[in-house]
Amino acid sequence: MQLSDLSPAALAEELGQRLKQARLNANITQAELAKRAGVSRKIVLSAEKGQVQLENFAALLLALGLAEQLNNFIPKPQISPIQLQKLQGKKRERASGSRAGSNQPSDAIDEGEPSW
């Protein structure tokens, strides 16, 4: 399955289902997970449907011992090579563009080689 083909809602839902499976694999109840994560049971319930604040989702991942895996997904942001050449000393804090007229913020996301 291609996660990138899903709608935002469907993607969030998929993440919720994976969280649920992880809980079941650990064989703990929603109530127990809620207690460990320091959130209400309702949060667990709706998180498993993908409807949850990122912070609460994070709390659940931590409680399940899954937090470290996040490094694989959004790896600690290295600075892109293109920028590396540009930046002299300081790191970029804003998106740029040519200055004329107004803007062409890099029209399409650079597919192909990961930008970092």
Which option in a copy of itself, DNA, none does residue 61 bind, with CB closer than 5 to 8 A by kind? Answer: a copy of itself
Which option in a copy of itself, DNA, none does residue 3 bind, with CB closer than 5 to 8 A by kind? Answer: a copy of itself
Q: Tell me, rounded to whole angstroms, the distance of Cα 74 from its chain centroid.
A: 6
Residue 17 binds DNA, judged by CB under 7 A: no
Q: Is 14 within 8 Å of 50 (Cβ atoms)?
A: yes
Cβ atoms within 10 Å, residue 27: 7
Q: Tell me which DSSP letter residue 50 carries.
A: T
> What span, in angstroms and rounded, lies between the C-alpha atoms of 78 and 89?
15
The tokens describing 15, both together, are: 């993440």
Binder to DNA among 10, 18, 21, 40 (CB under 7 A)? 40
Here's the x/- map for a copy of itself, 55-94, by CB under 8 A: it reads as: xxxxx-xxxxxxxxxxxxxxxxx-xx-xx--------xxx
Interface positions with DNA (CB under 7 A): 23-24, 29-31, 39-40, 42-43, 45-46, 48, 51-53, 55-56, 86, 90, 92-100, 102-103, 105
